[in-house]
Structure 1
Amino acid sequence: MAAPPAYALIATDLDGTLLRDDDTVSDRSRAALERAARAGARHLVVTGRPAPRVRPLLEGLGSTGLAVCGQGAQVYDAGADRLLWSVRLDRELAETALGKIEAEVGQVYAAVDQDGVDGLTLIEPGYLMPHPTLPAVRVGRRDDLWCEPISKVLLRHHTLSDDELAAIARSVVGSLATVTMSGPGTVELQPCGITKATGLALAAEHLGIAADRALAFGDMPNDIPMFDWAARGVAMANAHPELKAVADEITTSNEDDGIAVVLERLFPTD
């Protein structure tokens, strides 16, 4: 009988990690994930993107299993096209948090991801999508952002860096929300206490896989809780310094098939 794989769960972020800069997955990365799957390992996407923005990518990967979306606020069953679990961000708390942030830094530009498998991404005037390929609906005024339940708020500032905006937001938001930085131009407010590790732990429990059998890949500070939860965390060469500082290993960049480099070593033969 063949020995079980060293890692039974491979958790990968998408943007800046599994995805190349053109939003595609390379043939080499696909082949490495398929080889790991044949060895018995499960691949789990763990991303800040909400479920509706992840569905096409999962279809392209041929994935019908679970995915952790919305920074851990959603556990999505791709095969059934339904949320197994989701947490909403209270809209009144979100408005209060925005007010506290703007009292410190002046005007910010906001967007929201609506809850649900068909939720929209709404953006207020002045907000620029960090990923222009992702669909979004522009609304006329900020009040329109709160028309339906939401899973998170996305923030941008015209002069502050992401690090600066995230640090100030954390200092004033307190327990109103969790503040994360998940990519260039992406500072987010999500339900208090919710991180990628929250959703990852729930999905892993559903699959019957313990944290000590999990391998995680990421590139941004929002991946730190996922690295803390998993047995091993691998940062991409293009990763934020905060994530590199806590990683067990640094691989090559997302453009240079960093995930495949590691998986080819861990799963050398079928």
Structure 2
Amino acid sequence: MCTVSKQTLPVRPPKHFAVDIDGTFLSFNDTQFAKNKKAFEKALKAGYNVFFCTGSYFYSHPYKFLGRPYTSSMAVLDDDFVRSTGYRGFPGVYHNGGVVYDGNGNVLRLSHFGASFMSQFCDYIVAHNLEKYVVFCDMLETYMLCEESTLMKPALADIDVLSAPTVVTRDMLLDMKISLLIISDSNILTNQTNLQRGVDYVLKEGSLGTWDVTPCGVTKAQGLKVLLDSYGCSSENCGFIGNGTNDIEAMTLTDISFAVDNASEDVKAYAKYTLAENNDEGAFHKAMEIVYGISPE
């Protein structure tokens, strides 16, 4: 890990660049966020393949104008951006690598929990009255085993999932391809002795104190490999920028990886470079300037 400057980077900029959203691209500073979007747009128009690589979700309904689906990830970009760039969320890596789309919107990877895991997990949370602390996600929407979603709403809203989860039964869940769980406390899983972390699932810090759970072997790095393989290239030709523990594997994989300043020191240790700016100070557009010489002005 080192502080980044143009001189410390490889001479040839990467063709592909993966971007985390929450805490990285997304900014609550309107001026800096506008610059982030402009830098993203300019990088695309310059011929670079900049795309989202996030723990968030790419949902296909309800529809908005321009034929673009409303998605929790794409909600951070406006319709003018989509019209100008043509970027509609694909290519993209979602659900922390569990769902991968190519540039045409075709699904390259869909990793989901097996029936055995889902059966054991659901039986446990029902037996211990934990239904209101768990959200189930597939490619389409979110689900819960009860109507009480108040405790999970802030975390869902933080990732732009604004509608209430659909209430389903245990048996209905077993027939779905659930690729991500959001749980309010890691103990909901770690207390289950019949399910082992690193064997049956991957557990990462999520939004607002919640935890993201994906099938074993699912990380952003694995999702990136799937996408890059579809282009016939390696991680040497891909950059990455992020801030969270779910970004560590991708930071390690890619030759040019950035940690924004609001990342923890533990996360920064895995990035090849660190930025002096945090997400609210325009870290993303600063990275685009350093790597591609693109100014957001």
Tell me which of 110, 114, 130 is aligned to 2:134.
110
User: 142, 151, 163: which one pairs with 2:179?
Assistant: 151
Structure with more of its chain in strand, by fraction: 1
State the AA in 2 paired with 1:233: S
Q: Secondary structure at the match of 2:52?
A: strand
Contact map agreement 1:58 1:78 (CA 8 A) in 2: no
Residue 137 of structure 2: SS of its match in structure 1?
strand
Q: Does residue 204 in structure 1 map to residue 228 in structure 2? A: yes
Moved more, 55-64 or 7-16: 55-64
Compute the displacement of 1:98 (Å). 6.5
Q: TM-score, normalised by structure 1?
A: 0.79
After superposition, the Cα gap between the structure-2 partners of 1:235 and 1:136, relative to the gap in structure 1 and judged at 3 Å, is farther
Match of 1:67 in 2: 92
Out of 141-150 and 46-55, give the one that drifted further.
Answer: 141-150
Letter in 1 for 2:94: C
Distance 1:232 1:26, change over 3 A: same
Q: Distance in 2 between matches of 1:21 and 1:145?
A: 36
5+ residue gaps, structure 1, are none
Q: CA deviation at 1:168?
A: 6.8
Picking from 122, 136, 139, the partner of 2:143 is 122
- Picking from 97, 107, 126, the partner of 1:83 is 107
Which one has more relative contact order, counting CA pairs under 8 Å at least 6 apart?
2
1:1-270, aligned counterparts within 5 Å?
5-21=12-28, 26-52=33-59, 53-57=72-76, 60=79, 61-62=81-82, 63-64=87-88, 65-77=90-102, 79-80=104-105, 82-97=106-121, 107=130, 109-114=133-138, 116=139, 119-123=140-144, 124=146, 125=148, 127-129=151-153, 130-132=155-157, 133-134=160-161, 135-139=163-167, 145-146=173-174, 148-157=176-185, 172-251=196-275, 252-268=277-293
1:148 CA drift (Å): 2.5
Gap regions ≥5 residues in structure 2: 1-10, 60-71
Paired-residue identity, %: 22
Number of residue equivalences: 257
Output the TM-score relative to the length of structure 2.
0.72
CA gap 1:122/1:22 in 2 versus in 1, 3 angstroms: farther
1:78/1:139 Cα in 2 relative to 1: closer, same or farther (>3 Å)? farther
